[in-house]
Structure 1
Amino acid sequence: MAISLVKGQKIDLTKLNAGLTNLIVGLGWDPVQPKKGLFGFMKSEVNIDCDASALLLDANGKLTKEENLVCFYNRASGCRSVLHSGDNLTGEGDGDDEQIFIDLKKVPSDVHKILMVVNIYECENRRQDFGMIQSAFIRVVNKANNQELVRFNLSDDYSGKTALIVAEIYRHNGEWKFNAIGEGAYAAHINLLAKKYV
């Protein structure tokens, strides 16, 4: 049974799950449902293109190589320990909208954190922010048996924010842990968000 976390909580992944090496990190979201406008007509649903990304950071929380940014345009880290499922343009439907696959055995020793972030593509041109998103979540699944280990529902009000620092998977005393972060940020593109970690 998956453990539900709240913002700020941490949990051991590998210590509690012997032999855990391959993870599926699923991220999901839905556009806020349209409301009735003037004269009772439904306003049209807004298409919001959210993009999940992973940043492989060193012990100082720095992104030291360009190839350590895994996102819609760079779907594999240079070491191939982190892979991206591909771009979902709408967020429609149930379940994960985008997935990131992590092979913990392949993560290089100089990578101490894998930071999961989500940003809104072309947020400035489309005048969109995370106040227009609901039911956002991140979950970690054991790829070997498809068991959901951890789930973190992002329930804060992120109005005005154009990026989310969702969570991190990080090394601690030879084990891998999960940290539910859930912080809003401002970044019009994943490259701008990544620059904050250089």
Structure 2
Amino acid sequence: MAISLSKGQKVDLTKTNPGLSKVIVGLGWDTNRYDGGNDFDLDCSIFLLNANGKCASEKDFVFYNQLEGGNGSVVHTGDNRTGAGDGDDEQVKVDLAAVPAQVERISFVITIHDAEARGQNFGQVSNAFCRVVNEETNQEIIRYDLGEDFSIETAIIVGELYRHNGEWKFSAVGSGYQGGLARIATDFGLDVG
């Protein structure tokens, strides 16, 4: 039975699941109908952050054009451009035991591709969720349903895997941003110029 989290909640991952090292972080969403005439393309991006909350280099930014980071310990399984169908829309495989020591947090972000130009925002997105699955057993361990708290935002920091006293934990962040991926990337220390 998965632990269901609310915004702001944190939960142990490896301490309560001894031997767990390979997880899949699945993200999903539905888009509401609207007359903008443009398709929605939501994207998952992952930031590998050091103790200062920053990416040490561009290699610590994983997304649809750079599917691996952390020496192969974090792997984005590919871009889903439509969000059609049930279940996870995009997935990220994380080998917790292989994440480089300098990476203290792995932040999972969902953004709307080209949101400004298309006049799209998270007010038009529903049923967004993030879940953590044990890759070996395919058992869902954690689920975080984001709810309908967003309106004008074009990016959301959904959740984070982070180290604490040698163990991995998960935090349901649910923090919305305007300015899309560029704004978050800049906050995480990347030069997006």
Which TM-score band applies after superposition, normalised by the shorter structure? over 0.9
Point out the structure with max Rg over C-alpha.
1
> Which string of whole-angstrom CA distances, capped at 9 and with x for unpartnered residues, describes residues 136-174 of structure 1?
000000001000000000014211100001000000001
Structure 1 match to 2:186: 195
Count of residues paired in the alignment:
189
Kindly indicate whether residue 52 of structure 2 is the aligned counterpart of residue 64 of structure 1.
Answer: no
Unpaired runs of 5+ in structure 2?
none
Structure 2 match to 1:2: 2
For the 8 Å contact 2:36–2:119, the answer to whether it is kept is no
1:92 Cα offset (Å): 1.1
For the 8 Å contact 1:119–1:187, the answer to whether it is kept is no
> Which string of whole-angstrom CA distances, capped at 9 and with x for unpartnered residues, describes residues 2-49 of structure 1?
010000100000001010000100000001145xxxxxxxx6885210
Equivalent position SS for 1:131:
helix
**Aligned partner letter, 1:101:** K
Distance 1:107 1:150 in 2: 20
Distance 2:152 2:36 in 1: 21
Distance 2:91 2:132 in 1: 10
Equivalent position SS for 2:88:
coil
Structure 2 match to 1:160: 152
**Equivalent residue runs for 1:55-134 within 5 Å:** 55-134=47-126
Q: How large is the Cα RMSD of the aligned pairs? A: 1.4
For the 8 Å contact 2:126–2:148, the answer to whether it is kept is no
TM-score (norm 1): 0.91
**Aligned partner letter, 1:47:** D
1:193 Cα offset (Å): 2.1
Moved over 4 A (4+): 43-46
> Which string of whole-angstrom CA distances, capped at 9 and with x for unpartnered residues, describes residues 68-123 of structure 1?
10001100015111000111111111000000110011100000000000101011
**Aligned partner letter, 2:30:** D
**Aligned partner letter, 1:194:** A
Distance 2:69 2:162 in 1: 16
Residue number among 132, 135, 138 corresponding to 1:140 in the alignment: 132
Unpaired runs of 5+ in structure 1?
35-42
For the 8 Å contact 2:32–2:125, the answer to whether it is kept is yes
Distance 2:54 2:187 in 1: 9
For the 8 Å contact 1:51–1:87, the answer to whether it is kept is yes
Equivalent position SS for 1:194:
helix
TM-score (norm 2): 0.94
Kindly indicate whether residue 16 of structure 2 is the aligned counterpart of residue 16 of structure 1.
Answer: yes
Equivalent position SS for 2:78:
coil
> Which string of whole-angstrom CA distances, capped at 9 and with x for unpartnered residues, describes residues 154-197 of structure 1?
01421110000100000000100000010110233x34421111
Structure 1 pair 91–170 and aligned structure 2 pair: CA distance change class (3 A):
same
